[in-house]
């Protein structure tokens, strides 16, 4: 009798668990809960935005009752995936390390990298490249808010795409088969139509240090100009076992350290350890990632506003794809032993990113 009762009990539990599972309008597996228990959807409803209300209606699940039940995922808005590049295009690793080894990238490696060019406020003269960013579709650059909210002595003017060696008019490298050198297409410099820093950016502690740049026109994709992938949903944070890469020319507010595009592996640092090491930025929460901390191996090789990246394979991807996990933001210094760099966690801001993309 006890065996029968236990079997019935577990059967009931399995049914209850199955009923509580659901799929959001964005295709994410989630749990069916009462609306007040779903903070993401409940808070979005208070904004009274049409997109949020429609998404909430499409999120209804479970039996009809006085308090509506909703499929509570990680997003509160429909993601305009038509404005993000197809996974067969973004994050393409085909150019990875084809010619040059070590810390210098290959010519076609990481073709989403952008350099941000500034001018002096007093006379409009060239102030150089002081930040980086990433191409996320054919019109938008993802970067850090502190790269947009610049000091008064200079202003952000242009974005350069397709660069490898800054001092070279034409980027070429020896071919693997010793034939004629392989050369990339010329770089393109584009004016910025709109600067969109996060409205909650706090210069004192680096919170919400994220921004978008809308270019003056759409860009065509080439071997040396392609977008990086962004995760469509707020995925789990990368763990210590994740291999991260920072890429750039070492462009910061003070100088541009390298003529060549560089790459560097950096380890993820647990948040608890990061908070113990870095206190000047306040508490590091789920909106930021810590990485690096090895002597001489931090985001010194990357750019302010540049990417922290991860090469990923999964059921959603077309083979291997590079995904941007973070944006180079702040740190205790450059490459100090034991002191990691702090990166904006891109997945935390996916709703904000897609809400600020437009096709017109």
Write down the catalytic residue from 224, 258, 299, 304.
304
> 271: burial class by Cβ within 10 Å (0-12, 13-18, 19+)?
middle
Q: Which residues have C-beta within 8 Å of that of residue 98, sequence separation ≥ 6?
A: 106, 107, 108, 109, 176
Q: Calculate helix-pair angle for 39-47, 50-58, nearest 10 degrees.
A: 140
146 is a catalytic site residue: yes
209 is a catalytic site residue: yes
> Which CA distances in Å does 302 have to 10, 115, 131, 155, 341?
53, 11, 9, 21, 11
> DSSP code of 22?
E
Write down the catalytic residue from 59, 74, 198, 209.
209
Q: Which residues pair with 343 in a beta bridge?
A: 289, 328
Closest CA to 51 of 77, 26, 25, 27: 77
Q: How far, in Å, CA of 297 to CA of 294, rounded?
A: 5
Write down the catalytic residue from 74, 146, 171, 303.
146
20 is a catalytic site residue: no
Q: Which residues are catalytic?
A: 146, 209, 304
């Amino acid at each position: 009798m006890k065996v029968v009762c236990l079997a019935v009990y577990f059967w009931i539990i399995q049914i209850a668990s199955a009923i509580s599972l659901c799929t959001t309008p964005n295709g994410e597996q989630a749990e069916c809960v009462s609306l007040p228990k779903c903070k993401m959807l409940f808070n979005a409803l208070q904004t009274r935005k049409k997109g949020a209300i429609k998404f909430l209606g499409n999120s209804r699940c479970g039996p009809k009752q006085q308090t509506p039940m909703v499929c509570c995922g990680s997003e509160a808005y429909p993601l305009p995936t038509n404005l993000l590049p197809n996974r067969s295009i973004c994050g393409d690793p085909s150019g990875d390390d084809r010619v040059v080894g070590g810390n210098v990238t290959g010519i076609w490696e990481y073709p989403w990298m952008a350099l941000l060019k500034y001018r002096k406020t007093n006379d409009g003269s060239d102030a150089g490249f002081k930040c980086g960013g990433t191409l996320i579709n054919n019109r938008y650059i993802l970067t850090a808010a502190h790269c947009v909210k610049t000091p008064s002595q200079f202003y952000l003017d242009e974005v350069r795409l397709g660069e490898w060696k800054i001092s070279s008019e034409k980027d070429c490298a020896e071919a693997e088969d010793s034939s004629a050198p392989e050369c990339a297409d010329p770089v393109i410099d584009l004016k910025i139509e709109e600067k969109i820093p996060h409205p909650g950016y706090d210069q004192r502690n680096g919170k919400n240090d994220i921004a978008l740049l809308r270019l003056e026109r759409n860009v065509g994709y080439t071997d040396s100009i392609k977008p990086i992938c962004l995760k469509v949903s707020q995925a789990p944070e990368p763990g210590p076992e994740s291999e991260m890469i920072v890429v750039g020319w070492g462009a910061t507010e003070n100088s541009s350290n390298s003529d060549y595009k560089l790459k560097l592996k950096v380890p993820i640092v647990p948040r608890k350890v990061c908070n113990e090491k870095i206190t000047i930025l306040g508490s590091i929460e789920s909106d930021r990632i810590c990485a690096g901390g090895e002597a001489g191996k931090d985001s010194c090789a990357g750019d302010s506003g540049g990417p922290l990246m991860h090469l990923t394979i999964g059921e959603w991807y077309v083979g291997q794809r590079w995904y941007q996990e973070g944006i180079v933001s702040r740190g205790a210094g450059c490459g100090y032993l034991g002191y990691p760099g702090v990166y904006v966690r891109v997945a935390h801001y996916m709703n904000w990113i897609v809400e600020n993309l437009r096709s017109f």
